Structure 1
């Protein structure tokens, strides 16, 4: 079974589309490499957020006080810190291959435009990007943590995932 066939149905077509903007040749082999990398990123996202006792959820209310991490269909990361005076720190990190989006963009005073729901986009009325591709996974900080602890957790897990995702790109896609 190919890596592409192992992807969730909702993600499969998206991976085919982003291969065209990846800078890689528009071939089945390139699609397979991006699919393999996506599966590795999904595994690491799930492992790291579980290790940190972040709870996986299908939705995140824009008014929610807590912070969260999001993985998109394309394998990008969106880290959204806890609310602080009505705004949040947010960082968008692309998959590192797409040439049609910034590789990293951040905002210290981001405001969510709408609730975050799996299979929909993350949209900001003010933030690091206007919107993202559809959401595959959402992991929310524990309510047991203070806002300061949540901000530190979101930052720490984001850094780990960014490094891991970059290594995946180097080892799988750059081969």
Structure 2
């Protein structure tokens, strides 16, 4: 159902002026260029709002907090959401510097698909409503920063790295999914969660060839399969565990088709083992905190190399 002109204008008008300017610049390169301007603006506005809600939800779920500023000498890592709706992730300070990851959503041809650097320093603080500068990376500047999230002071480096990487993977791919509805040419991230696309994404993210990545994944899956077939319970970490459970034999029986009332013979079935997935409580909790409408509707925003859009 299309929004009325009044509703469309209101949805767009409620966004900050910086975001409205970004949206107007992106519409010509998107898949919505042929729509009436108000409707195209409204769709972009809804996508941006969905990105922000996902960002806030993920930050909350991982025990991180919004901060207004991160000084250049603050050892903590951070995740940055720009007014354009893009993400920049920064690792904790190490001897050689921080790692940085920026993923483009390809609305502009002058923005790289993926920027990854391993020895980056901040040129001045990260600050809301300001542009961030980086040295040691092909990404020299961000666009205006909207929100900054970091772990509480005192959080061990290992825990920070795990949370930031988890948030980066989830949000990058969530944003790609949202952008799919307004862009005709995107291949950054996981367009589909198939084995082929996962291999491609992990290879690019970790600096490996697709052949190397596929070999590791194949070995992992073969090991999991072997454990199951040997009667072991296989732990899948944060997801849960897999196992084979015995299923008792079933006698043949007659049942009625609920639609036609016709009697149907269900044949006997010998005792067998069936696979079972037990999801971890932490994963169930994360799933329970998601907005069903937001996840189901994630169908439909960016930074500068040299600079992010």
Fold equivalence (TM over 0.5): yes
Please tell me whether the aligned partners of residues 15 and 73 of structure 1 are also in contact (alpha carbons under 8 angstroms): no
Q: Distance in 2 between matches of 1:108 and 1:22?
A: 32
* Partner of residue 99 from structure 2, selected from 89, 108, 117: 89
Moved more, 132-141 or 96-105: 96-105
Please tell me whether the aligned partners of residues 55 and 142 of structure 1 are also in contact (alpha carbons under 8 angstroms): yes
The answer to whether structure 1 residue 5 and structure 2 residue 20 are counterparts is no
Q: 2:50 matched to which residue of 1? A: 40
> Which structure is richer in relative contact order (CA contacts within 8 A, separation 6 or more)?
1
CA separation of 1:130/1:24 partners in 2, compared to 1, >3 Å: closer, same or farther? farther
Q: Distance in 1 between matches of 2:143 and 2:120?
A: 18
Residue 143 of structure 1: how far off its partner (Å): 2.2
Please tell me whether the aligned partners of residues 96 and 169 of structure 1 are also in contact (alpha carbons under 8 angstroms): no
Please tell me whether the aligned partners of residues 128 and 145 of structure 2 are also in contact (alpha carbons under 8 angstroms): yes
Please tell me whether the aligned partners of residues 112 and 126 of structure 1 are also in contact (alpha carbons under 8 angstroms): no
Give 5+ residue unaligned stretches, structure 1: none
TM normalised by structure 1 equals 0.88
CA separation of 1:125/1:70 partners in 2, compared to 1, >3 Å: closer, same or farther? same
Q: Distance in 1 between matches of 2:43 and 2:147?
A: 21
Please tell me whether the aligned partners of residues 12 and 45 of structure 2 are also in contact (alpha carbons under 8 angstroms): yes
Count the aligned residue pairs.
174
Q: Distance in 1 between matches of 2:108 and 2:41?
A: 13
Q: Distance in 1 between matches of 2:157 and 2:20?
A: 36
Residue 126 of structure 1: how far off its partner (Å): 1.7
The answer to whether structure 1 residue 173 and structure 2 residue 182 are counterparts is yes
* Partner of residue 164 from structure 1, selected from 174, 179, 188: 174
Measured against aligned partners, the alpha-carbon deviations of 1:110-150 in whole angstroms (never above 9, x if no partner) come to 11111111111121022251111100010012224211221
Pair member with larger Rg: 2
TM normalised by structure 2 equals 0.52
Moved more, 142-151 or 111-120: 142-151
Please tell me whether the aligned partners of residues 119 and 135 of structure 1 are also in contact (alpha carbons under 8 angstroms): yes
Give 5+ residue unaligned stretches, structure 2: 1-6, 184-299, 301-309
Q: 1:68 matched to which residue of 2? A: 78
Please tell me whether the aligned partners of residues 124 and 130 of structure 1 are also in contact (alpha carbons under 8 angstroms): yes
Moved more, 63-72 or 149-158: 149-158
